[in-house]
Amino acid sequence: MKINRNDPCPCGSGKKYKKCCLLKENIVQIGEAREERFLQERHELVLKLNRFLERKISINQMYQLHSEFRRRTQGKLAESNIQGFFQYWLNYFRFFDNGLRGIEWFFQENNSKLTNEERKLAENWVKLTPKVVQAIGKSGNDILFEEVETKEQYTIADNKESFFAPWVGTISLIENYGNQYYFNGVRVFLGPQNISRVKAFIQKLVEETKSSRDHVLFEYYPEIIGEFLAESKDLEIDRKEIHECTIQYQVKDMAAVTDFLQEEPEFVIDFWEQDDKKLSWLSNRMEFFDSEMNGKAQIAENLGTISLEKNLLQFYCYDKKILERFKQKVEKLNNFVVLINEKIQSHFIPFQVEVKNMAVQFSENIPKYFALYAQNNLQSEMDQKIPMYDGFSIRELVESGRIEEAETWLRHQEYNLYQLVKNDFGKVEKTADFNTIRKVLGLPLSPFVTGGESRISGVMPIKASNKTPLVNNEDIPFYESLGFTPDTIDNFYAKSLVRFFKEKTEGKSENTVRKYKNSLYDLRLILESTPLNSWDQLDQTNWERIVLNDYFDLFYSVSKTQVKDFLSTLKKLAKWLDERENTSLSDDLQRAIKKTEKKRFQIAGV
């Protein structure tokens, strides 16, 4: 709907539209038009500057300069960027034989030919000095940058480039137009460690050349931009060895191995199919909380992955110590598996890189990027050694007064995590919490953390609980036949009795099935009434009590056949357990049966 100039303003102010928002819209439009005209004029003047230098510099000299620029930047610039940075160097930094930089030379010879606007621009460009700036605040699209040495501050809008990340920085000329600052020319934005490193590099050049900082920034721009762009892989850094470990076993008894995997409290099932099973070995389970997250989450360190496919048990990890721990766990399966292959491969990685795999579990309503925040929560790593800082932890850096290094490290973690979320999810609606650790360390808070001073996050240990056993669907009828309930299927004897029952009755007659079913049902009733926690506690005394007292207490009367079937089943079960679960029950049971034989006959009326 069209709004006339004299209509009431739709904003509700009570004023006429022409006296209210129409005026504001005109002001905004005028501002946008002025900015667009400024950017266009600047672009046209740059083209004139480029053409001027093309005329003044011979082709051979241009090739020489190009070769010099490549050499001095040490090949750090990508081919797609090198021409832009080379032209930028020629225009504003390179001193030619006449002692003038490109822009000074251009202004000197073309001053009278320029329009008033062009003259003002060119005159301003002559006065510009390079700045090394870093973002220290943000309001809407406006980013507050600070020169790392002089502490001068510049507010620059991030309207089109989308360069923002916490503590991002660059090396550039900065010009002012209409109370607004703008970057001049090509630039690249990188993180706090790059800024810290190039700051130190510039200071080193100042000391070595005994020149002013501004002169160094002009004269050594190619070296400085090369140092700024250097990645970790380009630097001389310590490396450490890690080990990729794989071990494989041939499975002789699938039931024993599956029971072992299900009963280990730190082994978590990823999926469980008939011929293909995958598990994760999770340790150090913690609960993650964050005041900006609606809910809580659980995290754990994933020590390795386990697979059981057909008759092959395999474990994979990145630590020889973890491999040895797994082998110790598997020792209890000595009778059921055979080692067929063990392979350890060495790799060398930068010393500061940690190979750490985390498992994260969230409720559905929590944004997925909080998984990255949970994995990178620093509160639990305040005492972890940082190789690049002489092995000091972040806490030790602060306590020893190395505040600038501690700040650089924290800022780079915040920068990297923001970039990771931005790349994976396109937009960062809520940033990670780096203020909780800053409060603990007594450092200034980050202005980029969502929630500011009130933000709090952390982890809490989760108390270990007994693992609920997994019962295969096909085994449920056997558990039910022997009288087990959901409350008793995790008793120490449950799986053993079911496995024994299945093996001894498979393909047998109804009489045989009935014999084992009745005898094992009775044994289950007896064991449920005892305080025993393992088969190893069944010594001769306990067997005597079972075969002489507990068994007969189940009945008003009992036949000779019932007693015979029960004792026969016990003997076979004890032998089976000795073979399968490495117990020593048979001898004690035989002695108990022999010792109580006379009394049993009397009780049974035989």
pLDDT tens profile 471-525: 677 788 898 899 988 888 888 899 889 989 998 998 899 999 999 999 999 999 9
CATH 3.30.160 fits 239-350, yes or no: yes
Residue 99, CA atoms < 13 Å, CB-side half-sphere: 0
Q: Is the model's pLDDT at 72 over the cut of 70?
A: yes
| Of 224-238, 294-308, 449-463, minimum mean pLDDT range | 224-238
User: Between 171 and 4, whose confidence is greater?
Assistant: 171
Q: Is the model's pLDDT at 11 over the cut of 80?
A: no
| Of 87-96, 137-146, 377-386, minimum mean pLDDT range | 377-386
Average predicted confidence (pLDDT) for the chain: 87
Model confidence band, residue 234 (pLDDT cutoffs 50, 70, 90)? very low
Model confidence band, residue 30 (pLDDT cutoffs 50, 70, 90)? very low
The model's pLDDT over 367-416, given as tens digits with 9 standing for 90+, comes to 888 888 888 887 777 888 887 888 899 999 999 999 999 999 999 999 99
The model's pLDDT over 283-294, given as tens digits with 9 standing for 90+, comes to 888 888 999 998
| pLDDT score at 469 | 52
Q: Which residues have C-beta within 8 Å of that of residue 586, sequence separation ≥ 6?
A: 571, 574, 575, 578
For CATH 2.40.50.140, the residue range(s) in the chain are 128-233
For CATH 3.30.160, the residue range(s) in the chain are 239-350
- The H-or-E segment that residue 355 falls in is none
| Of 186-195, 311-320, 361-370, minimum mean pLDDT range | 361-370
| pLDDT score at 490 | 82
Cα–Cα nearest to 229, from 201, 250, 261: 201
| Of 264-273, 310-319, 471-480, minimum mean pLDDT range | 471-480
Q: Give 548's DSSP letter.
A: I
CA distances (Å), 206 to each of 102, 147, 210, 318, 332, in order? 23, 17, 5, 45, 67
* Residue 268 CA from chain centroid, whole number: 19
Model confidence band, residue 28 (pLDDT cutoffs 50, 70, 90)? very low
Residue 226 has which token pair? 């090369």
> Average pLDDT for residues 227-248, to the nearest whole number?
73
> Average pLDDT for residues 210-237, to the nearest whole number?
83
Q: Is the model's pLDDT at 243 over the cut of 70?
A: yes
Model confidence band, residue 160 (pLDDT cutoffs 50, 70, 90)? low
Q: Write down the CATH superfamily of domain 128-233.
A: Nucleic acid-binding proteins (2.40.50.140)
Q: Is the model's pLDDT at 16 over the cut of 80?
A: no
First CA to last CA across the chain, in angstroms?
108
> Average pLDDT for residues 177-203, to the nearest whole number?
91
| Of 233-242, 263-272, 378-387, minimum mean pLDDT range | 233-242
- Encode 471-501: b = buried (16+ Cβ within 10 Å), e = exposed: beeebeebbebbebeeeebebebbbbbbbbb
Global confidence as pTM: 0.69
| pLDDT score at 182 | 93
Q: Is the model's pLDDT at 93 over the cut of 50?
A: yes
User: Between 266 and 557, whose confidence is greater?
Assistant: 266
Length of the chain: 606
Q: Which residues have C-beta within 8 Å of that of residue 551, sequence separation ≥ 6?
A: 522, 526, 558, 563, 566
Residue 355 has which token pair? 């190979």
Model confidence band, residue 606 (pLDDT cutoffs 50, 70, 90)? very low
